[in-house]
Amino acid sequence: MDARQNPDKAVQASLRFLQFLTEGYHPRNFAVRFWDGSVWEAETETPDFTIVLNHPGALRAIFRQTDTDLSMGEAYIYNDFDIEGDIFKVYALEDFLEQNPLSLERKAQLLRHYLALPKAPKREASRAARLKGRLHSIQRDRAAIRYHYDVPNAFYTLWLDKNMVYSCAYFETGEEDLDTAQEQKLDYLCRKLRLQPGERLLDIGCGWGALVVHAAKHYGVEALGITLSENQYRWANERIRREGLSDRARVELLDYREVRQPEGFDKLVSVGMFEHVGEAMLPVYFQKAWELLKPGGVFLNHGIARDANIPWQRGTFGDHYVFPDGELEPIWLTTRAAEEVGFDIRDIEGLREHYALTLRHWVRRLEARHEEALRVVDETTYRIWRLFMSGASYNFLTGRHKLYQTLMVKVTRAPSGLPWTRADWYCRQ
């Protein structure tokens, strides 16, 4: 049934609210299906996606808070509404709603439409993270990491690549499959670090140990990885054992501030951990890296940043349900903190498009294995990850979020000792 011809008062109230809210959004590339099966058809021949309102109070639930990012996210994960079709296309609509300022008169009209909507039912207890203690203390950071990473390993295996790399892949053409792109990334990191047999490498926030294994196996280094996730710790050491690399690779359950290695490391790398550090801890983070490196040592820091023109906001959907206490800093703040410790910044490479594509791969792989995922986690967890990763992909694609690999050297008023060009980075062994 065409929703416009539906006599149901709740449907008509919801339709009027939606029509008012999306006025000016043309062509409307999405459809809306109401709880009784009636449909407000898209203006395009085929909708890119369909918003499914699962009960009469769905729109009240979606817009129950002024923070639309959190409110919409919670309404989705708790099944007030669903998204069928291309979830990546939803974010252009969200942008339209956020960037379309209303006059006082139109705000009043919108409020009247909102108050005419059926009330939303009470929701189940929130699954949001609730952390205690001083922000970015070791104890609280451990709790934040457990919340994020200690979802069963079997869930991650459904959508990560075969090496379980949970960070931005590296695409040479954009046409590679995920396994290939992640192997390219691992090797690219090793080439940037210019690893040599016998060198000591520390991987800060090593995940499931993919880079530790790759560096030890293909570059002959002695590699130590650290993580705060017990699931990752066990997985990584079991893989090291299976690969026969226990004599030159291991993973320990440590915070970066707890590493004690008086002999130092030749090379340091951190991939996808930097987002957990926090602005207040940047001096501590880089000072620790400086202390752990031997003179002339190289540190490659691979991390997400935010657009410098967009202030960091706490209380977002991601902050509550995915990365509690996570922070994204602009790249200038990162490099300033590193230089103030003494590092010589040698190279900064932006790879945000690579992360946008990586996340698309992850979402598509997760969607394709929805039923398998529900044998490992519940529907709410599945929805949290589908929504968060698709939104993150859009943020990288539109430049809100950046991805930088920053190469720095521990030298003081002396030549760096590095080659004159980057040519060797692009020559595979």
CATH number at residue 68: 3.30.1050
Q: Give pTM, 2 decimals.
A: 0.95
Cross-strand bridge partners of residue 249 = 223
Predicted confidence band at 156 (pLDDT cuts at 50, 70, 90)? very high
Inside any domain, residue 122: no
Mark whether 109 and 167 lie in a shared domain: no
Same domain, 54 and 191: no
Tell which of 49, 82, 115 closes a domain. Answer: 115
Same domain membership, residue 143 and residue 82: no
pLDDT band per the 50, 70, 90 thresholds, residue 162 = very high
Does residue 110 fall inside a structural domain?
A: yes
- Co-location of 268 and 336 in the same domain: yes
Query: To 5 degrees, how large is the angle CA 404–CA 410–CA 411?
Result: 125
27: preceding bond cis by omega (within 30 degrees): yes
Q: What's 225's domain CATH number?
A: 3.40.50.150
* Domain coverage including residue 64: 3-115
Same domain (yes/no): 152, 87? no
Q: 217-254 b/e with 16+ CB inside 10 Å = b?
A: bebebbbbbbbbbebbbebbbebbeeeebeebbbbeeb
Asked if 183 and 145 sit in the same domain, the reply is: yes
Same domain flag for 108 and 31: yes
290 domain residue, yes or no: yes
Q: Supply the angle between the helices 210-219 and 230-242 in degrees, to the nearest 10.
A: 30
pLDDT greater than 70 at residue 316: yes
Helices (H), 22-136: 58-62, 68-77, 90-98, 104-115
Same-domain status, 253 and 379: yes
**Residue 337 domain-assigned?**
yes
Mean pLDDT over 324-335 rounds to: 95
pLDDT at 130 over 80: yes
Name the residue among 342, 150, 173 with its Cα closest to residue 234. Answer: 150
Instruction: Give 247-285 pLDDT, tens digit per residue.
Output: 999 999 999 999 999 999 999 999 999 999 999 999 999
Same domain, 145 and 108: no
Q: How many domains does the chain have?
A: 2
367-385: pLDDT as tens digits: 999 999 999 999 999 999 9
User: What is the C-alpha to C-alpha distance for residues 358 and 364, in angstroms, rounded to an integer?
Assistant: 10
Together in a domain, 193 and 297: yes
Same domain, 186 and 273: yes
Residue 123 belongs to a domain: no
pLDDT of 65 higher than 80: no
Mean pLDDT over each residue of the chain, to the nearest integer: 94
Q: Does residue 131 form part of some domain?
A: no
Does 145 lie in the same domain as 104?
no
Domain end position, chosen among 115, 150, 167: 115
The answer to the question of residue 309 being in a domain is: yes
Residue 132 belongs to some domain of the structure: no
